[in-house]
Amino acid sequence: MAQNLVGASETNQTGATNAGAETPDQPFGGLQPSRLIPGFGETPDTAVSPLADIPGLLVDEPAPDNPTVFEVGALNVFYGEFRAVRDVTMSVREREITSFIGPSGCGKSTVLRCFNRMNDLVAGARVEGKLEYFGVDLYSERVNPVEVRRRIGMVFQKPNPFPKSIFDNVAYGPKIAGTKKKSDLEDIVERSLRQAALWDEVKDRLNSSALGMSGGQQQRLCIARAMAVDPEVILMDEPCSALDPIATARIEDLMRQLKDDYTILIVTHNMQQAARVSDATAFFSTEESAAGDRRSGVLVEFDRTDKIFSVPSDERTENYITGRFG
């Protein structure tokens, strides 16, 4: 993997540490974006371009036929008068995990909520700019937000199972989407719970309340619930922030499996997590807006994850991921 290649060269040069070990001192699995890489900073591209030129070497590089799912151009989000996010431009590829990182309040959740029009539900929120989903403008008058949300599911920071049985939680989405037959619903529930790696734990108590589950189980239930409607994209806003490391690891495993079928966008404050699971990473930060004193969020850098975490091209990214900022 490109990460390992770059990381290995780095550790060789510093001669200090064991690549891949994760200790608090080495937040990125041994990958330390560092000026120690010769030439990094002045001509950042030279560090990777020789590798990138060898076809098939960078396995994280998307295959050329991996189509673009979301095309975002000059996206601005306002809460009333306040411009929370300014001029975001990026494109999200299919069957990849794209992570959003950045300091608190820089607009990660705000941008994420644009992708399934959840911002419509926030009083005073307004979205300007381009956001195309497979070439369709998501904010066009003719687009039905309910249908958008059915295709683009969302998992929230705090597990939010409904006060219903485990079965009914997962069956809720398919039911409102029109699946009526009990046997069909049973199939969907089993499939989704299996996908969410929860089936074995709950198959004997599908009819007990979801609120009696542990936090990690509830979060996996919410993932199962989101997948039961067979979405095309899953948005996750800090899905592991309330979970212990074991539950977090399970959900990360889950995301890697889901990647085969789904496009995933995830907001996380855990940079190791972003480095571990995602293919592309967007680093957001805040910037004094020209108009006023409130700070609006900007997309500082958007690139392949390995690049962001090894040879970021923006100094602010580097400062952030090395812990020198926020």
Ligand X SMILES: Nc1ncnc2c1ncn2[C@@H]1O[C@H](COP(=O)(O)OP(=O)(O)OP(=O)(O)O)[C@@H](O)[C@H]1O
Binding site for ligand X (CB under 6 A): 79, 84, 104-110, 122, 297
Contact at 8 Å (CB) between 311 and 48?
Answer: yes
- Does 242 contact other proteins by CB under 8 A? no
Q: Measured from the CB of residue 248, what is the shortest distance to ligand X in angstroms?
A: 17
Q: Which amino acid is at 98?
A: T
Q: State which of positions 195-234 bind other proteins (CB under 8 A).
A: 208-212, 222, 225-226, 229
- Does 79 contact other proteins by CB under 8 A? no
Torsion of CA 260, 262, 263, 264, to 10 degrees: -100
In the block, tokens 């001029």 appear at 87
Contact at 8 Å (CB) between 52 and 61?
Answer: yes
Stretch that binds other proteins, among 67-75, 161-169, 193-201, 290-298 (CB under 8 A): 161-169
DSSP β-ladder status, 136-137 and 295-304: unpaired
Of the two residues 169 and 219, which places its CB atom closer to ligand X in the complex?
219
Distance between CA atoms of residues 203 and 200, nearest Å: 6
Of the two residues 23 and 208, which places its CB atom closer to other proteins in the complex?
208
- List phi, psi (to 5°) of 278: -95, 155
Q: Measured from the CB of residue 227, what is the shortest distance to Mg ion in angstroms?
A: 22
Which positions from 119 to 148 touch other proteins by CB under 8 A, shown as an x/- string?
--x-x----------------------xx-
Q: What angle do CA 245, 247, 250 make, to 5 degrees?
A: 110
107 touches which of other proteins, Mg ion, ligand X, none (CB within 5 to 8 A by kind)?
ligand X
Size, binding site for Mg ion by CB under 5 A? 1
Contacts of 80 (CB under 8 A, 6+ apart): 124
Contacting positions for other proteins (CB under 8 A)? 116, 118, 121, 123, 146-147, 149-151, 153-154, 156, 158, 160-164, 172-173, 176-177, 208-212, 222, 225-226, 229
